[in-house]
Amino acid sequence: MNVRYLARSDILALKPYQSARKLTYSGNIWLDANEFPIAPNYQFRYKKMHRYPSCQPQEIINNYADYAGVRSDQILVSRGADESIELLMKVFCNPGKDVIIFCPPTYGMYKTTAEILGINYRIILKKKNWQLDLTSIESQLNNVKLIYICNPNNPTGNIIHVNSLKKLLDIIQDKAILVTDEAYVDFCPNASLVRWLSIYPHLVILRTLSKAFALAGLRCGFTLANPEIIKLLEKVIAPYPLSIPVIDIAEQALTPKNIQYTLNRIDTINKNRNILITGLQQCSCVQKVFDSNANYVLVRFHPKYQIFNTLLRQGIILRDQSSQPGLMHCLRITVGTYNECKHVISILRKLHTPSLSAYINRSTHES
Protein backbone atom coordinates (compact mmCIF):
# COMPACT_ATOMS: atom_id res chain seq x y z
CA MET A 1 0.00 0.00 0.00
CA ASN A 2 1.30 3.44 -0.92
CA VAL A 3 0.46 5.52 2.14
CA ARG A 4 1.77 8.77 0.67
CA TYR A 5 -1.62 9.57 -0.83
CA LEU A 6 -3.04 9.64 2.72
CA ALA A 7 -0.60 12.32 3.85
CA ARG A 8 -1.32 16.04 3.72
CA SER A 9 -0.23 17.53 0.42
CA ASP A 10 1.58 20.38 2.16
CA ILE A 11 3.61 17.91 4.23
CA LEU A 12 4.56 15.99 1.09
CA ALA A 13 5.86 19.26 -0.33
CA LEU A 14 7.48 20.39 2.92
CA LYS A 15 11.20 21.11 2.91
CA PRO A 16 12.21 20.13 6.45
CA TYR A 17 14.52 22.23 8.58
CA GLN A 18 18.08 21.02 8.17
CA SER A 19 19.48 20.90 11.67
CA ALA A 20 23.23 20.49 12.05
CA ARG A 21 22.86 16.85 12.99
CA LYS A 22 20.76 16.05 9.94
CA LEU A 23 23.69 17.07 7.75
CA THR A 24 25.98 14.07 7.46
CA TYR A 25 29.38 15.76 7.54
CA SER A 26 32.21 14.06 9.37
CA GLY A 27 34.94 15.89 11.23
CA ASN A 28 36.63 16.37 14.57
CA ILE A 29 36.10 20.11 15.10
CA TRP A 30 32.38 20.89 15.14
CA LEU A 31 31.77 24.61 14.72
CA ASP A 32 28.39 24.39 13.00
CA ALA A 33 25.68 24.21 15.69
CA ASN A 34 26.57 26.88 18.27
CA GLU A 35 27.26 24.26 20.91
CA PHE A 36 29.82 24.54 23.69
CA PRO A 37 32.79 22.35 22.78
CA ILE A 38 33.35 20.85 26.27
CA ALA A 39 30.73 18.83 28.15
CA PRO A 40 29.83 20.01 31.66
CA ASN A 41 30.29 17.42 34.41
CA TYR A 42 26.91 16.34 35.77
CA GLN A 43 25.94 12.98 37.25
CA PHE A 44 22.46 11.45 37.17
CA ARG A 45 20.86 11.33 40.61
CA TYR A 46 17.30 10.13 40.10
CA LYS A 47 16.65 6.39 39.72
CA LYS A 48 12.86 6.17 39.79
CA MET A 49 12.23 5.83 36.07
CA HIS A 50 9.03 3.85 36.66
CA ARG A 51 7.15 7.06 37.62
CA TYR A 52 5.99 9.82 35.31
CA PRO A 53 7.74 13.17 35.88
CA SER A 54 6.09 16.43 36.79
CA CYS A 55 4.70 18.34 33.81
CA GLN A 56 6.19 21.60 35.10
CA PRO A 57 9.01 20.82 37.56
CA GLN A 58 8.77 23.48 40.22
CA GLU A 59 12.42 23.48 41.30
CA ILE A 60 13.56 24.17 37.74
CA ILE A 61 10.98 26.93 37.34
CA ASN A 62 11.82 28.58 40.65
CA ASN A 63 15.56 28.50 40.02
CA TYR A 64 15.27 29.79 36.47
CA ALA A 65 12.93 32.53 37.69
CA ASP A 66 15.65 33.66 40.09
CA TYR A 67 18.25 33.54 37.30
CA ALA A 68 16.09 35.41 34.76
CA GLY A 69 14.63 37.93 37.21
CA VAL A 70 10.95 37.01 36.78
CA ARG A 71 8.23 35.38 38.86
CA SER A 72 7.64 31.64 38.82
CA ASP A 73 4.15 32.10 37.37
CA GLN A 74 5.73 33.79 34.34
CA ILE A 75 7.61 30.65 33.23
CA LEU A 76 6.80 27.55 31.21
CA VAL A 77 9.51 24.89 30.80
CA SER A 78 9.56 22.86 27.58
CA ARG A 79 11.58 20.64 25.24
CA GLY A 80 13.90 23.40 24.10
CA ALA A 81 12.77 26.77 22.80
CA ASP A 82 11.67 24.98 19.61
CA GLU A 83 8.69 23.53 21.43
CA SER A 84 7.76 27.02 22.63
CA ILE A 85 7.74 28.27 19.03
CA GLU A 86 5.24 25.53 18.20
CA LEU A 87 3.07 25.90 21.32
CA LEU A 88 2.52 29.59 20.68
CA MET A 89 1.23 28.89 17.17
CA LYS A 90 -1.04 26.15 18.49
CA VAL A 91 -2.56 28.50 21.05
CA PHE A 92 -2.92 31.70 19.02
CA CYS A 93 -3.19 30.77 15.34
CA ASN A 94 -6.07 29.20 13.43
CA PRO A 95 -4.64 27.13 10.54
CA GLY A 96 -5.36 28.62 7.14
CA LYS A 97 -6.59 31.89 8.63
CA ASP A 98 -4.14 33.55 10.99
CA VAL A 99 -0.65 34.72 10.11
CA ILE A 100 2.78 34.89 11.71
CA ILE A 101 5.59 37.24 10.69
CA PHE A 102 9.32 36.59 10.77
CA CYS A 103 12.17 38.63 9.35
CA PRO A 104 15.02 36.89 7.49
CA PRO A 105 17.86 36.39 7.65
CA THR A 106 16.91 34.56 10.84
CA TYR A 107 16.32 31.19 12.48
CA GLY A 108 14.59 28.76 10.12
CA MET A 109 12.23 26.99 12.52
CA TYR A 110 9.66 29.80 12.57
CA LYS A 111 8.89 29.11 8.92
CA THR A 112 9.13 25.31 9.16
CA THR A 113 6.86 25.13 12.22
CA ALA A 114 4.24 27.31 10.56
CA GLU A 115 4.28 25.09 7.48
CA ILE A 116 3.91 21.93 9.57
CA LEU A 117 0.94 23.38 11.45
CA GLY A 118 -0.70 24.88 8.37
CA ILE A 119 -0.24 28.45 9.62
CA ASN A 120 0.11 31.24 7.07
CA TYR A 121 3.22 33.39 7.28
CA ARG A 122 4.60 36.64 5.90
CA ILE A 123 8.28 37.15 5.29
CA ILE A 124 9.41 40.72 5.88
CA LEU A 125 13.10 41.04 5.15
CA LYS A 126 15.34 42.95 7.51
CA LYS A 127 17.04 46.10 6.29
CA LYS A 128 20.60 45.97 4.97
CA ASN A 129 21.90 46.62 8.49
CA TRP A 130 19.77 43.67 9.70
CA GLN A 131 17.43 45.87 11.69
CA LEU A 132 13.65 45.66 11.53
CA ASP A 133 11.67 47.23 8.73
CA LEU A 134 8.95 48.61 10.97
CA THR A 135 7.15 50.41 8.15
CA SER A 136 6.69 47.17 6.21
CA ILE A 137 5.65 45.27 9.32
CA GLU A 138 3.05 47.87 10.28
CA SER A 139 1.57 47.82 6.77
CA GLN A 140 1.09 44.02 6.81
CA LEU A 141 -0.53 43.30 10.16
CA ASN A 142 -3.90 42.07 8.94
CA ASN A 143 -4.67 38.67 10.51
CA VAL A 144 -1.24 38.60 12.16
CA LYS A 145 -1.18 36.97 15.60
CA LEU A 146 2.53 36.38 16.26
CA ILE A 147 5.76 38.15 15.25
CA TYR A 148 8.97 36.20 15.86
CA ILE A 149 12.15 38.23 16.33
CA CYS A 150 15.44 36.53 17.17
CA ASN A 151 17.57 38.76 19.41
CA PRO A 152 20.56 38.45 19.20
CA ASN A 153 19.74 37.37 15.71
CA ASN A 154 20.80 33.98 14.41
CA PRO A 155 22.82 33.74 12.17
CA THR A 156 23.96 37.37 11.92
CA GLY A 157 24.81 37.87 15.60
CA ASN A 158 23.52 41.44 15.79
CA ILE A 159 21.24 42.94 18.42
CA ILE A 160 17.94 44.49 17.34
CA HIS A 161 17.76 48.13 18.41
CA VAL A 162 15.80 48.41 21.64
CA ASN A 163 13.90 51.46 20.38
CA SER A 164 12.69 49.45 17.37
CA LEU A 165 11.40 46.69 19.63
CA LYS A 166 9.60 49.21 21.81
CA LYS A 167 8.02 50.84 18.75
CA LEU A 168 6.97 47.43 17.48
CA LEU A 169 5.33 46.55 20.80
CA ASP A 170 3.43 49.84 20.68
CA ILE A 171 2.40 49.25 17.04
CA ILE A 172 0.98 45.78 17.67
CA GLN A 173 -0.68 46.46 21.02
CA ASP A 174 -4.15 44.84 21.07
CA LYS A 175 -3.34 43.27 17.69
CA ALA A 176 -0.59 40.66 18.01
CA ILE A 177 2.07 39.15 20.25
CA LEU A 178 5.78 39.85 19.93
CA VAL A 179 7.89 36.73 20.51
CA THR A 180 11.55 37.57 21.12
CA ASP A 181 13.77 34.53 20.80
CA GLU A 182 16.58 35.16 23.29
CA ALA A 183 18.42 31.86 22.87
CA TYR A 184 21.74 33.74 22.83
CA VAL A 185 20.98 36.59 25.19
CA ASP A 186 23.08 35.11 28.01
CA PHE A 187 26.12 36.33 26.07
CA CYS A 188 24.79 39.92 26.15
CA PRO A 189 22.24 40.06 29.02
CA ASN A 190 21.67 43.80 28.70
CA ALA A 191 19.87 43.12 25.40
CA SER A 192 17.11 41.12 27.09
CA LEU A 193 13.57 42.49 27.18
CA VAL A 194 12.78 40.60 30.38
CA ARG A 195 12.36 43.87 32.31
CA TRP A 196 9.45 44.74 30.00
CA LEU A 197 7.29 41.71 30.76
CA SER A 198 5.35 43.55 33.45
CA ILE A 199 4.77 46.50 31.09
CA TYR A 200 3.76 44.70 27.90
CA PRO A 201 1.30 41.81 28.35
CA HIS A 202 1.72 40.93 24.65
CA LEU A 203 5.45 40.23 24.99
CA VAL A 204 6.79 36.66 25.08
CA ILE A 205 10.46 35.72 25.55
CA LEU A 206 12.04 32.38 24.62
CA ARG A 207 15.12 31.07 26.44
CA THR A 208 17.17 27.85 26.47
CA LEU A 209 19.84 25.87 28.32
CA SER A 210 21.38 24.80 24.99
CA LYS A 211 23.86 27.62 24.46
CA ALA A 212 25.46 29.38 27.43
CA PHE A 213 24.60 26.52 29.79
CA ALA A 214 26.34 24.03 27.43
CA LEU A 215 23.38 21.63 27.48
CA ALA A 216 22.29 21.42 23.84
CA GLY A 217 21.70 17.68 24.17
CA LEU A 218 19.39 18.16 27.15
CA ARG A 219 16.62 19.89 25.17
CA CYS A 220 15.35 22.19 27.88
CA GLY A 221 13.89 25.62 27.16
CA PHE A 222 11.72 28.27 28.74
CA THR A 223 8.90 30.60 27.80
CA LEU A 224 8.72 33.84 29.79
CA ALA A 225 5.40 35.65 29.57
CA ASN A 226 2.55 37.04 31.60
CA PRO A 227 0.69 34.38 33.66
CA GLU A 228 -2.36 34.38 31.38
CA ILE A 229 -0.24 33.32 28.39
CA ILE A 230 1.57 30.71 30.48
CA LYS A 231 -1.76 29.16 31.50
CA LEU A 232 -2.86 28.96 27.87
CA LEU A 233 0.39 27.25 26.89
CA GLU A 234 -0.01 24.76 29.72
CA LYS A 235 -3.29 23.68 28.11
CA VAL A 236 -1.60 22.43 24.95
CA ILE A 237 1.83 21.26 26.10
CA ALA A 238 2.45 17.50 26.22
CA PRO A 239 1.55 15.81 29.53
CA TYR A 240 5.19 15.06 30.36
CA PRO A 241 7.40 17.32 28.23
CA LEU A 242 10.62 16.72 30.19
CA SER A 243 12.01 13.30 31.02
CA ILE A 244 13.35 12.55 34.51
CA PRO A 245 17.02 12.69 33.36
CA VAL A 246 16.39 16.12 31.80
CA ILE A 247 14.77 17.38 35.00
CA ASP A 248 17.67 16.00 37.02
CA ILE A 249 20.41 17.75 35.03
CA ALA A 250 18.45 21.00 34.59
CA GLU A 251 17.95 21.23 38.36
CA GLN A 252 21.69 20.82 38.88
CA ALA A 253 22.56 23.36 36.17
CA LEU A 254 20.43 26.01 37.83
CA THR A 255 21.99 25.84 41.29
CA PRO A 256 23.94 28.97 42.31
CA LYS A 257 27.25 27.09 42.07
CA ASN A 258 26.65 25.87 38.52
CA ILE A 259 25.19 29.19 37.39
CA GLN A 260 28.53 30.71 38.40
CA TYR A 261 30.26 28.10 36.22
CA THR A 262 27.98 29.19 33.37
CA LEU A 263 28.89 32.84 33.90
CA ASN A 264 32.57 31.88 33.78
CA ARG A 265 31.89 29.89 30.60
CA ILE A 266 30.21 32.92 29.02
CA ASP A 267 33.25 35.04 29.83
CA THR A 268 35.53 32.47 28.19
CA ILE A 269 33.36 32.25 25.07
CA ASN A 270 33.21 36.01 24.69
CA LYS A 271 37.02 36.25 24.98
CA ASN A 272 37.50 33.46 22.43
CA ARG A 273 35.02 35.19 20.12
CA ASN A 274 37.13 38.34 20.17
CA ILE A 275 40.24 36.29 19.41
CA LEU A 276 38.43 34.60 16.52
CA ILE A 277 37.16 37.88 15.10
CA THR A 278 40.58 39.55 15.33
CA GLY A 279 42.26 36.59 13.64
CA LEU A 280 39.68 36.34 10.87
CA GLN A 281 40.10 40.03 10.05
CA GLN A 282 43.72 39.29 9.20
CA CYS A 283 42.91 36.56 6.67
CA SER A 284 43.03 37.52 3.00
CA CYS A 285 40.34 34.94 2.15
CA VAL A 286 37.85 36.94 4.26
CA GLN A 287 35.70 39.66 2.72
CA LYS A 288 33.98 40.76 5.94
CA VAL A 289 33.70 39.69 9.57
CA PHE A 290 30.44 40.82 11.11
CA ASP A 291 30.13 41.97 14.71
CA SER A 292 28.62 39.37 17.00
CA ASN A 293 26.93 39.37 20.39
CA ALA A 294 26.55 35.60 20.56
CA ASN A 295 28.67 32.43 20.58
CA TYR A 296 29.20 32.46 16.81
CA VAL A 297 30.59 34.76 14.14
CA LEU A 298 29.20 35.33 10.66
CA VAL A 299 31.87 35.71 7.99
CA ARG A 300 31.67 36.48 4.27
CA PHE A 301 34.50 34.77 2.39
CA HIS A 302 35.88 35.27 -1.09
CA PRO A 303 34.14 32.52 -3.06
CA LYS A 304 37.26 31.41 -4.94
CA TYR A 305 38.68 29.85 -1.78
CA GLN A 306 35.69 27.51 -1.25
CA ILE A 307 36.23 27.81 2.48
CA PHE A 308 33.44 25.45 3.58
CA ASN A 309 34.86 22.53 1.61
CA THR A 310 38.48 23.50 2.29
CA LEU A 311 37.92 23.37 6.07
CA LEU A 312 35.70 20.31 5.80
CA ARG A 313 38.63 18.45 4.27
CA GLN A 314 40.57 19.38 7.39
CA GLY A 315 37.83 17.95 9.64
CA ILE A 316 36.39 21.37 10.53
CA ILE A 317 32.63 21.73 10.07
CA LEU A 318 31.03 25.17 9.67
CA ARG A 319 27.45 26.19 8.84
CA ASP A 320 26.78 27.54 5.34
CA GLN A 321 24.33 30.47 5.34
CA SER A 322 24.37 31.25 1.62
CA SER A 323 20.71 30.29 1.19
CA GLN A 324 19.61 33.09 3.52
CA PRO A 325 18.66 36.47 2.01
CA GLY A 326 21.69 38.72 1.71
CA LEU A 327 24.14 36.12 3.03
CA MET A 328 25.72 34.81 -0.16
CA HIS A 329 29.19 33.36 0.52
CA CYS A 330 28.62 33.65 4.28
CA LEU A 331 29.55 30.97 6.80
CA ARG A 332 28.64 30.92 10.47
CA ILE A 333 31.47 29.82 12.75
CA THR A 334 30.69 28.66 16.28
CA VAL A 335 33.15 29.98 18.85
CA GLY A 336 35.08 26.92 19.98
CA THR A 337 37.92 26.50 22.44
CA TYR A 338 40.92 28.78 22.34
CA ASN A 339 42.90 26.11 20.49
CA GLU A 340 40.08 25.47 17.99
CA CYS A 341 39.81 29.18 17.20
CA LYS A 342 43.57 29.44 16.73
CA HIS A 343 43.61 26.34 14.53
CA VAL A 344 40.94 27.71 12.20
CA ILE A 345 42.72 31.05 11.96
CA SER A 346 46.04 29.33 11.25
CA ILE A 347 44.58 27.42 8.30
CA LEU A 348 42.77 30.42 6.86
CA ARG A 349 45.77 32.71 7.11
CA LYS A 350 47.77 30.39 4.88
CA LEU A 351 45.16 30.33 2.14
CA HIS A 352 46.59 33.39 0.43
CA THR A 353 49.31 31.02 -0.69
CA PRO A 354 47.96 29.06 -3.66
CA SER A 355 50.30 26.16 -2.93
CA LEU A 356 48.59 25.40 0.38
CA SER A 357 45.16 25.20 -1.20
CA ALA A 358 46.59 22.91 -3.85
CA TYR A 359 48.29 20.85 -1.12
CA ILE A 360 45.01 20.47 0.80
CA ASN A 361 43.17 19.36 -2.32
CA ARG A 362 45.95 16.98 -3.33
CA SER A 363 46.23 15.44 0.15
CA THR A 364 42.51 14.86 0.34
CA HIS A 365 42.43 13.30 -3.10
CA GLU A 366 45.34 11.00 -2.30
CA SER A 367 43.78 9.90 0.99
Which tens digits make up the pLDDT trace of 175-195? 999 999 999 999 999 999 999
The domain locations on the chain are 3-34+258-362, 58-255
Determine the Cα angle at 126 with ends 189 and 219, to 5°: 45
In angstroms, rounded to a whole number, what is the distance separating the alpha carbons of residues 116 and 136? 26
> Per CATH, which fold does 58-255 belong to?
Aspartate Aminotransferase; domain 2 (3.40.640)
List, for residues 206-265, the tens digit of each pLDDT value: 999 999 999 999 999 999 999 999 999 999 999 999 999 999 999 999 999 999 999 999
In angstroms, rounded to a whole number, what is the distance separating the alpha carbons of residues 354 and 349? 12
In angstroms, rounded to a whole number, what is the distance separating the alpha carbons of residues 178 and 168? 8
For 13-62, the DSSP string reads: T------GGGS----SEE-SS---SS----------TTSPPPSS-HHHHH
Question: Which one-letter DSSP state was computed for residue 154?
Answer: T
Q: Is 56 exposed, middle or buried (0-12, 13-18, 19+ CB in 10 A)?
A: middle
Catalogue the E-assigned strands of 99-143. Answer: 99-102, 120-123
Q: What is the pLDDT of residue 48?
A: 86
CATH 3.90.700.10 fits 3-34+258-362, yes or no: no
Backbone angles phi, psi at 9, to 5 degrees: -65, -35
Q: Which helix (H) or strand (E) holds 125?
A: none
Mean of pLDDT values over 49-55: 94
List, for residues 289-346, the tens digit of each pLDDT value: 999 999 999 999 999 999 999 999 999 999 999 999 999 999 999 999 999 999 999 9
Percent of the chain with pLDDT over 70: 95
